[in-house]
Amino acid sequence: MVTGTLYLKIHYHNNTEKEITGFLFPGNYYTLIEIYKPGTQPYPVIENGGHPGYRKLSFTAGETGDMLIKLKPLKNDFNYINPFFIPENRFIYYEIHKTGLKSDIQLYGLVLSGVLLMMILFMVTNYIINHKQEFLYNALYSLCMFLLIFLNSTLSRTNSPFSKLYFSYFDFFLLVTGTIFYITFTRKFLNTKNDYELIDKIFKYGERFVLLLLGIYTYLHFFTSTFLPQYFLEIIMKILILVIGIVFISLAFKHKKRLFNYLAAGNAMLILFSVISLFLLLLKIRPVNIFYSSLFYYNTGIVFELAFFLMGLNYKNRSEIISGIKEQEA
CA distance 330 to 328: 5
Residues facing residue 33 across a β-bridge: 71
| DSSP string for 107-167 | HHHHHHHHHHHHHHHHHHHHHHHH--HHHHHHHHHHHHHHHHHHHHHHHTT---HHHHHII
* Three-class SS state of 209: helix
Phi first, then psi: give them for residue 41, nearest 5 degrees: -135, 135
330 residues of the chain, pLDDT tens digit each: 889 999 999 999 999 999 999 999 998 889 999 999 887 677 788 888 888 889 999 999 999 999 999 999 999 888 889 898 999 999 989 888 887 778 888 999 999 999 999 999 999 999 998 888 999 999 999 999 999 999 999 998 888 889 999 999 999 999 999 999 999 999 899 888 888 888 888 888 888 999 999 999 999 999 998 999 999 998 888 888 888 888 878 877 887 788 888 888 998 999 999 989 888 888 888 877 888 888 899 999 999 999 999 999 988 888 888 888 888 898
Q: Are 6 and 62 in contact (CB under 8 A)?
A: no
Helix H, strand E, coil C: the string for 11-57 is EEECCCCCCEEEEEECCCCEEEEEEEECCCCCEEECCCCCCCCCEEE
Rounded CA separation 19/329 (Å): 89
3-class secondary-structure state, position 81: coil
Amino acid at the residue 124 = V
What pLDDT is attached to residue 254? 81
Tell if the pTM clears 0.85, that is, is over it.
yes
Provide φ and ψ at 8, rounded to 5°. Answer: -115, 130
CATH 2.20.25 fits 6-94, yes or no: no
Measured between alpha carbons, how far is residue 160 from residues 28, 50, 154, 165 in Å?
A: 10, 11, 12, 9
8 A C-beta contact, residue 49 and residue 24: no
Which pLDDT does position 96 carry in this prediction? 83
